[in-house]
């Protein structure tokens, strides 16, 4: 099949992967970093390659029922974990104070399934239902960034849907009333207990988000040393953030983490992949699917702009889907030309 033909996005992705590997190899060869310290970057490359290939070579658009069923299975699997007194998942904490089961794994898995479901759906009513169920699942899990990004993307998609099709207004308004009522009921039942992982989602609006405060406090101490050094600004300084903060776990949780580690070269490649993927996804779809694709792109871009670092390899799924759409679009254009 010609779907596997290499296109410019594949070349751009290969260039990004090669640049990352080159910078990691150079840091090790020059003795700046140990192999153990650089291991997360090698694992990151594997994740990027796998998720990009998933989006690039597997066609999802005719599998909407599969993803809806998969989402329902995830919800059913979460139900036994829910504390029904407060409607949230109480994560276990080990003797060392570390969580043995955390919200991030749940949140990432549900978020990826939701994005693929949106990409595959072919009915507006199903999209609204998936939006409510998905946002509720992310809320119960307590995955804040995924909840905000998914909700914002779906809000834009649904707004465009209502604007394009006034008949959808009744369905959306009804679903919105139900969702708001459910949210208020949840707030009352939970007793507004902020130890509840779900209600910590609201910390961003109350100004009490410790996670956001910690990320903002790291912003300038990590970024300024890179920007003020011409060589580091151009090519990056891997693990420089660990030197500044004293921990390999304290890095910028946004797209600028690409700049600090892989420089302006890496950032240009990364941003180019994001923009091209968004353009290709929107350009290659028609009608209702285009509206959903806009929401899909917004959710992914929000994640990299304000919530996730370069280690968030799920963005490569977005790139892979864009590359698949580019090849499919070119193939369709060639077929139309041949017929004409």
- Residue 179 C-beta-side C-alpha neighbours within 13 Å: 19
Examine the pLDDT at 275 and tell me if it is beyond 70.
yes
| 7 backbone φψ class: left, alpha, beta (φ>0; ψ -120 to 50) | beta
Examine the pLDDT at 1 and tell me if it is beyond 60.
no
Write the CA distances from 247 to 14, 38, 100, integer angstroms: 30, 14, 21
Closest residue by Cα to residue 262 from 111, 48, 36: 48
Sign of the Cα torsion 135, 141, 147, 150 reads negative
Structure token pair of residue 7: 């296109």
The model's pTM: 0.83
Write the CA distances from 252 to 21, 36, 107, 238, 335, integer angstroms: 20, 21, 20, 13, 46
Tell me, letter by letter, the H, E, C secondary structure of 294-317. HHHHHHHHHHHHHCCCCCCCCHHH
Structure token pair of residue 101: 């089961």
**Hey, is 90 helix, strand or coil?**
coil
- At residue 305's C-alpha, the angle toward residues 323 and 221, to 5°, is 135
Q: Which of 21-35, 120-134, 225-239, 317-331 has the lowest mean pLDDT?
A: 120-134
Residue 315 and residue 301: Cα distance in Å, rounded?
A: 9
Closest residue by Cα to residue 312 from 240, 258, 245: 258
DSSP string computed for 254-308: STHHHHHHHHHHHHHHHHHHHHHHHHHHHHH--HHHHHHHHHHHHHHHHHHHHT-
- At residue 90's C-alpha, the angle toward residues 87 and 93, to 5°, is 175
Residue 148 and residue 254: Cα distance in Å, rounded?
A: 15
**Per-residue confidence (pLDDT) for residue 2, from 0 to 100:** 46
Express each pLDDT in 164-196 by its tens digit: 776 666 666 666 666 656 665 655 555 444 455
Q: What are phi and psi of 157, to 5 degrees?
A: -60, -45
**Per-residue confidence (pLDDT) for residue 115, from 0 to 100:** 84
Q: What are phi and psi of 32, to 5 degrees?
A: -75, -35
Closest residue by Cα to residue 315 from 250, 258, 247: 258
| 320 backbone φψ class: left, alpha, beta (φ>0; ψ -120 to 50) | alpha
Residue 238 and residue 33: Cα distance in Å, rounded?
A: 8
Q: What are phi and psi of 93, to 5 degrees?
A: -120, 130
Rg (CA), the chain: 21
Q: Which of 101-110, 154-163, 176-185, 227-236 has the lowest mean pLDDT?
A: 176-185
Express each pLDDT in 281-291 by its tens digit: 888 877 777 88
Q: Which of 27-36, 59-68, 134-143, 322-331 has the lowest mean pLDDT?
A: 59-68
């Amino acid at each position: 099949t010609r779907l596997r033909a290499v296109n410019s996005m594949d070349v751009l992705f290969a260039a990004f992967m090669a640049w990352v590997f080159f910078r990691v190899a150079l840091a090790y060869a020059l003795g700046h970093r140990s192999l153990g310290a650089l291991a997360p970057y090698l694992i990151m490359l594997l994740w990027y390659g796998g998720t990009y290939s998933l989006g690039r070579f597997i066609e999802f658009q005719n599998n909407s029922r599969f993803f809806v069923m998969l989402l329902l299975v995830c919800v059913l699997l979460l139900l036994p974990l829910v504390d029904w007194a407060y409607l949230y998942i109480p994560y276990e904490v080990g003797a060392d104070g570390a969580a043995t089961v955390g919200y991030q794994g749940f949140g990432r898995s549900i978020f990826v399934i939701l994005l693929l479901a949106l990409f595959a759906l072919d009915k507006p009513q199903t999209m609204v239902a998936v939006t409510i169920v998905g946002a509720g699942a992310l809320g119960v899990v307590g995955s804040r960034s995924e909840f905000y990004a998914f909700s914002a993307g779906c809000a834009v998609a649904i707004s465009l849907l209502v604007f394009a099709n006034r008949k959808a207004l009744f369905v959306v308004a009804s679903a919105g009333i139900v969702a708001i009522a459910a949210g208020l009921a949840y707030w009352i039942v939970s007793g507004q207990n902020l130890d509840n992982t779900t209600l910590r989602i609201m910390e961003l609006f109350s100004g009490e988000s410790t996670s956001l405060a910690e990320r903002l406090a790291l912003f300038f101490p990590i970024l300024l040393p890179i920007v003020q050094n011409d060589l580091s600004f151009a090519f990056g300084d891997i693990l420089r953030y660990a030197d500044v903060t004293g921990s390999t776990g304290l890095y910028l949780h946004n797209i600028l983490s690409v700049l600090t580690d892989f420089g302006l070269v890496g950032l240009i490649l990364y941003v180019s992949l994001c923009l091209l993927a968004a353009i290709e996804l929107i350009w290659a779809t028609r009608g209702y699917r285009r509206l959903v694709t806009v929401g899909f792109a917004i959710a992914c871009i929000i994640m990299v702009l304000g919530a996730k670092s370069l280690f968030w390899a799920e963005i490569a799924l977005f790139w892979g889907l864009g590359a698949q759409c580019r090849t499919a679009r070119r193939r369709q254009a060639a077929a139309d030309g041949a017929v004409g």
